[in-house]
Chain A
Amino acid sequence: MSRGFSHVEDLKGVPRGPRSDAVLSRVLSACGDSILNVSRRGTTIRVALKAECFRKAVESIYSEHDLYFRTMAASDERLKDGVYKLYYVLGIDGEGTNVVLEVPAPEGVEISTVSDLFRASDWYELEAKDLFGINFSGRSLRRLVLPEDWPENLYPLRKDISADEIKSLYQPQMISQIAELGVEEVVRVPIGPYHPALHEPEYFELYVRGEKVVDARYVGFMVHRGIEKLAESMKYDQVPFLAERICGICGFVHSTSYVQAVEEALGIEVPERAQFVRSIVLEVERLHSHLLWIGVALHLLGYDTGFMHAWRIREKIMVLAELLTGSRKTYGINLVGGVKKDVNQDKVPKVREVLEQLKKEFSEFVGIAISVPQVMARLRGTGLLPRGEARAYALVGPTVRGSGLARDVRKDYTYAAYHYVSFKVPVYSEGDNLARTLVRVDEVFESISIIEQLLDMLPGGSVMAEGWETQPMKLGIGAVEAPRGEVIHVVVTGDYSPYRWRVRAPTYQNLQAVPTMLRGVDLADAPLTIASIDPCFSCTDRALIINLRSGSVKAVPIEVISRRGVRSG
């Protein structure tokens, strides 16, 4: 296997499948002496290669049918190695292995883009440029994460700049912009423009002809909170509490991903019972998240009765979460090495009772809701996302499963206690809003079954690892199948805190396909189509409609709309 490369670690005896062998061998053949190092830890093969060979390596493997671009983490490692590094995490679905291409990027050296090969890597490259100043050749670069008025040459995730320095160097220009617009009274409200379709910050420009959407553009990252930077100053066990606050709905998936990444990097053995507890809570979270989504989707379709009943049923799950963890939301039980709250055996019968009730009520409810004529008419055939596009964008979760791809981290890269249970991965091939809805409906039943199985098999023992030591500059990957799709965290360990923590939420991956889904839909179906990926931004929302006939396609602030409207805008 090493083909004469002395720096390639002998991988004999390490269990891995034929697919990772094939991928590795193609990379090694393509790069030859440009390979710096190859190592393996757990299910991850890490290939360090010179920047000049990176594109060649990707060209040799990108067309592999089961290779999936999971995430990319940029890291400022100048203090240690004198270079920035890019970690491209490529998953091999079905085999559960990762190939991590580690690309050193010396200051001033441009890295060849691979966004034309892995379409999903587009945003990752832009983000690496925004936050680290890493340049990519062969593509156009624009601001993605940082606001337009961010100072040039100020890269917030570099190690040589602190959060306080960033605060002193950047002041948002919003106030002066509003003043220029001639608004008489400026009131500081930290939410900004919003739109009732989604309750978080995002910005869609929908280009419409009549009521038909002909194209769409997305601009996001309006409230980039810099939590990755914040985590660099926190201790390992403080970060799970921060991670859980990434999402207001499914925060537990983030804390689990983070602790799994650290546990993998440091080789920490997590007790089995803790794995079971994590899995149970993750499924409880999926249940309430899916019911929340189904309710919101029905509201967007004007069927508010369905919305009310979905949330009424969801309430039982919130109470269940409180019973198990002490909190309805933001459970705060994950720690590196296990969980700090056990499932008390006395609670198990109550949990079973609630699940039984839930199964019955949800089954009745969903049968009625889906058969409402307007609901069915507007779900079927709208927001189409073909399987090929879903694969090209490396989409995740119910979004990809609604387009015929059975991608599910619980099966593909199994973690926690999922390998102990039997469950189906619902897949629909139609690629429309109905398919994505039905995936979630089926998943509710699967989650109930998973929790029941886990409760049946709940092992005894401790829920916390005995103790663990930190080791710097170890790479760990933690992935969880969140309700919206795969959440993946990449951690490069430091002495006391994560040296680099890269969070990739499923929406990051799925959002890039939304413009494709929006093309050709009616304006009325646009909110549902956007919502069909179950997007998770973080605060308010904004949609702007620009009529192509007017020729006006620029971004117009809400103040202008409210004062002048579309005619003069």
Chain B
Amino acid sequence: MVSLTSLLVTVSFALLPPLLDGVERKVKAKIQTRYGPPTILQTWYDLMKLWIKELKIPTSSESSFLLVSLSFLTAITALYPLAYMIVTLHTQFEPLLLALPLTLVASSHGLMLITSTSTSNPFAIIGSYRSVILTLLNEFGLISGSVIAIYTGLRLLTNHTLSTTMIYLLSLVILLFSTYVGGGRLPFDIHEAEPELASGILIELSGKLLALYIYTHLLIRYVLTLLMSVALIAPLTLVIATPTALPLTLLISFILYIAYGMIAVALGRTRVDIGVKTLFIYYLIALIVLVIFTCLSI
């Protein structure tokens, strides 16, 4: 029963990202004093329009359709353990459920990067390398942030010392930062960077391939947002049941997704050297503080 519920939740989650993107586009347009898309369904319409276009395989990258499809499936699969985790969070917590989405998101990223490099387009290659550097660094924040936040969050009600609370809050900050960066929003969209790289890793994709890529990209964004939402509701899971936890997670993920979009509107694009340096310094400081608090709690 739990598995079936989780599957249904997964399917619902999978349909959400293009819709959320539509809302984000409307909000962005409002901030930028323009009309924006006519409806919040616009991203869905865009995807459908791209999907009915002919399939164009980038030259010298015959396996690109397979790779993009695999990446899409991997991203969608990452939703299942998260859905399962949300449904069962008040009764049990399986560490595997946390490891799975992280691994699947990383795999999805990896498959997409292989697609870009295999096209041999210089812009796509440069974009991929930028993405690799940023992702490798960000994975650290994503893994450490999510593991520590969810673990300490789940134990916060039973062990609410100052240092545990501080560890939880700090790991939330790390996770917030890493899920934002992982979503490829400004200022960290340097792998696409339209002005200098002519859209970088996207440049060789069109029609069905582009539709799949965009959908995958939105799914990954949503998976990361869900991860953050789970970390946020983790301390409440012992006092709320699944029927409440699920809509609460959905609501938080919706707010977070749009908030991320609004932050992006206020920022410009970073440079690969500045971005990596900034991220490294942030994570290093956070790690040091985290170690200090962990030592204190012991």
A interface residues, Cβ below 8 angstroms from B:
195-197, 211, 298-306, 308-309, 312, 372-375, 377-378, 522-528, 545, 547, 561-568
| A139 to B60 alpha-carbon distance, docked (Å) | 44
Residues of A near B265 (CB, < 8 A) are 304-305
B interface residues, Cβ below 8 angstroms from A:
31-34, 59-60, 119-123, 125-126, 186-187, 189-190, 193-196, 198-199, 265-274
- Supplied contacts A298-B268, A373-B267, 20 more A-B pairs, CB within 8 Å: A211-B273, A301-B269, A302-B189, A302-B193, A304-B265, A308-B32, A308-B34, A309-B33, A373-B268, A375-B268, A378-B270, A522-B271, A524-B193, A526-B196, A562-B121, A564-B59, A564-B60, A564-B120, A565-B119, A566-B122
Looking at B125, B195, B199, B272, the one whose CB has the most chain A CB atoms below 10 A away is B195
Contact B268 A378 (CB under 8 A): yes
User: What would 18 A/B residue contacts be, using CB atoms closer than 8 Å?
Assistant: A195-B198, A196-B195, A196-B198, A196-B199, A197-B195, A211-B272, A302-B269, A303-B267, A372-B266, A372-B268, A374-B269, A375-B268, A378-B271, A522-B271, A527-B195, A545-B122, A564-B120, A566-B121
Closest partner residue, chain A, to B193 (CB atom): A524
Task: Select one of A374, A375, A526, A566 contacting B125, CB under 8 A.
Answer: A566
| A378 to B121 alpha-carbon distance, docked (Å) | 26
Looking at A304, A372, A561, A568, the one whose CB has the most chain B CB atoms below 10 A away is A304
| A561 to B123 alpha-carbon distance, docked (Å) | 10
Looking at A298, A378, A528, the one whose CB has the most chain B CB atoms below 10 A away is A378
Closest partner residue, chain A, to B31 (CB atom): A305
* A-B complex: 6 closest residue pairs judged by Cβ atoms: A302-B269, A565-B120, A374-B268, A303-B268, A308-B32, A566-B122
| A565 to B120 alpha-carbon distance, docked (Å) | 5
Residues of A near B199 (CB, < 8 A) are 196
| A522 to B33 alpha-carbon distance, docked (Å) | 32
Taking the closest CB of chain A, its distance from the CB of B214, in whole angstroms, is 18
Task: Select one of A309, A374, A527, A528 contacting B270, CB under 8 A.
Answer: A374
Residues of B near A306 (CB, < 8 A) are 268
Residues of A near B270 (CB, < 8 A) are 374, 377-378
Contact A301 B268 (CB under 8 A): yes
Residues of A near B193 (CB, < 8 A) are 302, 524
Residues of A near B273 (CB, < 8 A) are 211, 522
Taking the closest CB of chain A, its distance from the CB of B230, in whole angstroms, is 30
Contact A523 B196 (CB under 8 A): yes
| A301 to B186 alpha-carbon distance, docked (Å) | 10
Residues of A near B186 (CB, < 8 A) are 302
Closest partner residue, chain A, to B265 (CB atom): A305
Closest partner residue, chain B, to A521 (CB atom): B271
Taking the closest CB of chain B, its distance from the CB of A563, in whole angstroms, is 5
Taking the closest CB of chain B, its distance from the CB of A527, in whole angstroms, is 5
Contact B32 A309 (CB under 8 A): yes
Taking the closest CB of chain B, its distance from the CB of A382, in whole angstroms, is 9
Taking the closest CB of chain B, its distance from the CB of A164, in whole angstroms, is 39
| A195 to B194 alpha-carbon distance, docked (Å) | 9
Looking at B119, B186, B199, B268, the one whose CB has the most chain A CB atoms below 10 A away is B268
Residues of A near B272 (CB, < 8 A) are 211, 522, 524
Contact B120 A566 (CB under 8 A): yes
Task: Select one of B32, B125, B194 contacting A305, CB under 8 A.
Answer: B32
Total A-B pairs, Cβ < 8 A: 98
Residues of B near A305 (CB, < 8 A) are 31-32, 265-266
Looking at B119, B269, B270, B272, the one whose CB has the most chain A CB atoms below 10 A away is B269
Task: Select one of B32, B34, B198, B267 contacting A372, CB under 8 A.
Answer: B267
| A218 to B129 alpha-carbon distance, docked (Å) | 27
Residues of A near B33 (CB, < 8 A) are 308-309, 312
| A301 to B32 alpha-carbon distance, docked (Å) | 16
Task: Select one of A524, A563, A568 contacting B196, CB under 8 A.
Answer: A524
| A378 to B187 alpha-carbon distance, docked (Å) | 12
Residues of B near A373 (CB, < 8 A) are 267-268
Taking the closest CB of chain B, its distance from the CB of A294, in whole angstroms, is 13
Q: Given A304-B32, A305-B31, A524–B271 Cβ distance below 8 Å?
A: yes
Taking the closest CB of chain A, its distance from the CB of B282, in whole angstroms, is 13
| A377 to B269 alpha-carbon distance, docked (Å) | 10
Q: Given A302-B195, A565-B120, A566-B120, A524–B190 Cβ distance below 8 Å?
A: yes
Taking the closest CB of chain A, its distance from the CB of B59, in whole angstroms, is 5
Taking the closest CB of chain B, its distance from the CB of A140, in whole angstroms, is 30
Task: Select one of B32, B122, B187, B189 contacting A561, CB under 8 A.
Answer: B122
Residues of A near B268 (CB, < 8 A) are 298, 301-303, 306, 372-375, 378
| A79 to B220 alpha-carbon distance, docked (Å) | 73
Looking at B122, B125, B198, the one whose CB has the most chain A CB atoms below 10 A away is B122
Contact B122 A300 (CB under 8 A): no
Closest partner residue, chain A, to B194 (CB atom): A196
| A312 to B32 alpha-carbon distance, docked (Å) | 9
Residues of B near A303 (CB, < 8 A) are 267-269
Residues of B near A302 (CB, < 8 A) are 186-187, 189, 193, 195, 267-269
Taking the closest CB of chain A, its distance from the CB of B182, in whole angstroms, is 18
Contact B122 A565 (CB under 8 A): yes
Taking the closest CB of chain A, its distance from the CB of B296, in whole angstroms, is 33
| A524 to B267 alpha-carbon distance, docked (Å) | 16
| A372 to B189 alpha-carbon distance, docked (Å) | 16
Residues of B near A299 (CB, < 8 A) are 195
Looking at B59, B265, B271, the one whose CB has the most chain A CB atoms below 10 A away is B271
Taking the closest CB of chain A, its distance from the CB of B186, in whole angstroms, is 6
| A197 to B198 alpha-carbon distance, docked (Å) | 8
| A378 to B186 alpha-carbon distance, docked (Å) | 14
Closest partner residue, chain A, to B267 (CB atom): A374
| A375 to B270 alpha-carbon distance, docked (Å) | 8
| A312 to B35 alpha-carbon distance, docked (Å) | 12
Taking the closest CB of chain B, its distance from the CB of A562, in whole angstroms, is 7
| A525 to B197 alpha-carbon distance, docked (Å) | 11
Closest partner residue, chain A, to B275 (CB atom): A374
Residues of B near A566 (CB, < 8 A) are 120-122, 125
Contact B269 A567 (CB under 8 A): no
| A528 to B271 alpha-carbon distance, docked (Å) | 12
Contact A377 B32 (CB under 8 A): no
Residues of A near B123 (CB, < 8 A) are 545
| A372 to B186 alpha-carbon distance, docked (Å) | 12
Residues of B near A378 (CB, < 8 A) are 268, 270-271, 274
Looking at A298, A299, A374, A528, the one whose CB has the most chain B CB atoms below 10 A away is A374
Residues of A near B125 (CB, < 8 A) are 566
Q: Given A308-B33, A312-B33, A567–B59 Cβ distance below 8 Å?
A: no
Residues of A near B198 (CB, < 8 A) are 195-196
| A437 to B187 alpha-carbon distance, docked (Å) | 21
Residues of B near A197 (CB, < 8 A) are 195-196
Task: Select one of A195, A372, A527, A563 contacting B59, CB under 8 A.
Answer: A563
| A312 to B31 alpha-carbon distance, docked (Å) | 12
| A524 to B187 alpha-carbon distance, docked (Å) | 13
